[in-house]
Structure 1
Amino acid sequence: MIRYLAALAAACLGLVLLAANAEAQAPSTGESLFGVFRPYLVELAGVFIAALAAWLFKLLREKLGIDIEAKHRDALQAALTNAAGLVINRAGGLAGALALPNANPLVQQGVSYVIDSAPDALKHFGITPEEARRVLTEKLEAKIGVLISTGAAAKA
């Protein structure tokens, strides 16, 4: 598709240049063939350039939109994982016995960490602190489950 558009652009540009060259060499007494078609070619080239610019802008916007969303997602996941590790580290050897009610001060600190670490990601996805607390609690339960199953909680 890009090769086709590039070839079409080169052809339009070539015709415009040929028309200008042919008009400059035409005798002053008559009208040249390219002189007749030149206004149409210029209009066609303008439309083509505008369409190409719009297509490139759309492509760039789609590409950057995907990159921005991926960056927000990665930042949010990293913040949640780090917050879960922070809570488990602060709980120390009691991580296996850690109760996870919403009022737990360690969970509150973890949520504060997520809010401070990835505010743009939370805003982009429309995640409230309550939803962040719920997701963090799920991550904590999963991490604690891994710690208990591997016996790492007893070693900490």
Structure 2
Amino acid sequence: MQTIITAATPHLLEILGLILTAIIGWAASKARQKWGLDIEAKHRDALHEALMTAARLAIGRNLTGQAAISLILDYAKRSVPDALDKLSPPAVVIENLAQSKLEKAAVEAGKAIGKAIKAGR
């Protein structure tokens, strides 16, 4: 029995080493995936917040159309350049987001005006 254990020990150690290597690789992959997604989410949130802030600014300045979109895009480029670099969205996607945020800011402004009118009655 001792001879069998002695003969099998090097092979068992190799197998154990392979198993541990696989477990460490899997854990490293999961950690990289989780933290990578967390970082991406932070960049995405920062970009959306910058676009919304700029859209509100454009509404406040009574800008419309391409002038408003240009302000929003310029603001985002200055405000969150790291997010734009890391996410690398196509220009058309950023323009569509800017348009969407502008429309949302306009709706918010309309609601605020409506509340102000009702409060003044």
TM-score by shorter chain over 0.5: yes
Give 1:80 shift: 1.6
Return 5+ residue gaps in structure 1 as ranges: 1-30, 92-97
2:103 corresponding residue in structure 1: 138
CA displacement at 1:132 relative to structure 2: 4.2
State the Cα deviation string for residues 61-114 of structure 1 (Å, max 9, x = none): 22012202211221012102221233344x2xxxxxx36211x2x542232111
Q: Which residue identity does 2:26 align to in structure 1? A: W
The residue identity in structure 2 corresponding to 1:101 is G
Counting only pairs closer than 5 Å after superposition, residues 79-118 of structure 1 correspond to structure 2 as: 79-89=50-60, 91=61, 98=62, 100-102=64-66, 104=67, 106-118=68-80
1:130–1:146 CA distance, 2 compared to 1 (3 A):
same
Provide the rounded CA distance (Å) in 2 between the counterparts of 1:118 and 1:138.
21
Q: Which amino acid aligns with 2:29?
A: K
Which residue, out of 10, 33, 46, partners 1:62? 33
> Which residue does 1:20 correspond to in 2?
none
TM-aligned CA deviation for residue 47 of structure 1: 0.6
RMSD (Å) for aligned C-alpha atoms: 2.6
The structure with more helix, counted as a fraction of residues? 2
Q: Point out where structure 2 has 5 or more consecutive residues left out of the alignment.
A: none
Q: 1:122 to 1:149 in 2, by over 3 A?
A: farther
Q: How many residues align?
A: 114
- Give the letter for the 2:57 counterpart: L
Which residue pairs with 1:126 in the alignment?
Answer: 89
Q: Is the 8 A contact 1:80 1:139 kept in 2?
A: no
Query: TM-score, length-normalised on structure 2?
Result: 0.73
CA radius of gyration, larger in: 1
| % identical equivalent positions | 32
Higher RCO by CA contacts (8 Å cutoff, separation 6 or greater): 2
